[in-house]
Amino acid sequence: MINQNSIKLSLFQPLVYNKLTITDNTNIDVIYSSLIKKLDAAPIGCEAVIAFNYAINDGISINVISVGFANEPTEEVRVAIEQGEEIPLSEHDMEIESGKYEFIQLPILPEKDALYSTFIPFIYSSSYQKIGTFHFRLLKENALVILSQVILKLEE
């Protein structure tokens, strides 16, 4: 069952990132705070992503797989987007691969202590999969706004 606030998203090209090393890469509070701080200081158009895996058993477990960051789009990328052309990919070591996803843009940036509780209803309502992955994407839209999105891989 797909969440009523979500849309289906087909990525024809991957979204690419460079992995970040965060001192305590298992503590979601530290990771999330570090990314928000990094985005606050970054130019508009930069984005960060946290890749998670999850398992639904008697309860749910959610674990960080990796963390990535992408700088603002280059002029070449902007022109390709405006003209509807294939986007040139930069060097990267992490990506949200092309494929079919369920996508939801959260109405507000979650508080760090409520991050996991933000994901749980989405995972339960969205997926028939007992084990899977999803991405939490943060995009600096303008000087004051960071957008947050959940991107859940759909079964092929």
CATH label of the domain that carries residue 24? 3.20.80
Q: Which residues pair with 52 in a beta bridge?
A: 64, 134
Q: What's CA 110's distance to the chain center, in Å? A: 13
Whole-model pTM: value is: 0.88
Neighbours of 152 (CB within 10 A): 24
**What is the number of structural domains in the chain?**
1
Residue 46 lies in a domain: yes
| φ and ψ at residue 36, rounded to 5 degrees | -65, -45
Residue 68 lies in a domain: yes
Query: What is the C-alpha to C-alpha distance for residues 30 and 115, in angstroms, rounded to an integer?
Result: 12
**Sheet order of strands, 131-140 included:** 7-11, 99-105, 146-153, 131-140, 47-56, 60-70, 15-19, 94-96
Rounded CA Rg of the chain: 15
Residue 2 lies in a domain: no
Domain range enclosing 27: 7-153
Residue 137 lies in a domain: yes
Q: What is the pLDDT of residues 108-137, one digit of tens each?
A: 999 988 898 888 888 877 656 788 889 999
Residue 1: predicted pLDDT: 39
Q: What's CA 80's distance to the chain center, in Å? A: 22
Asked if pLDDT for residue 59 goes beyond 60, the answer is yes
Q: With pLDDT > 70 as the criterion, what percentage of the chain qualifies?
A: 91
Residue 1 lies in a domain: no
Residue of higher predicted confidence among 36 and 83:
36
Q: What is the pLDDT of residues 6-47, one digit of tens each?
A: 788 898 999 999 999 876 666 888 899 999 999 999 999 999
User: b/e per residue, 3-25, with b = 16+ CB within 10 A?
Assistant: beebeebeeeeebbbeebebeeb
Residue 67 lies in a domain: yes
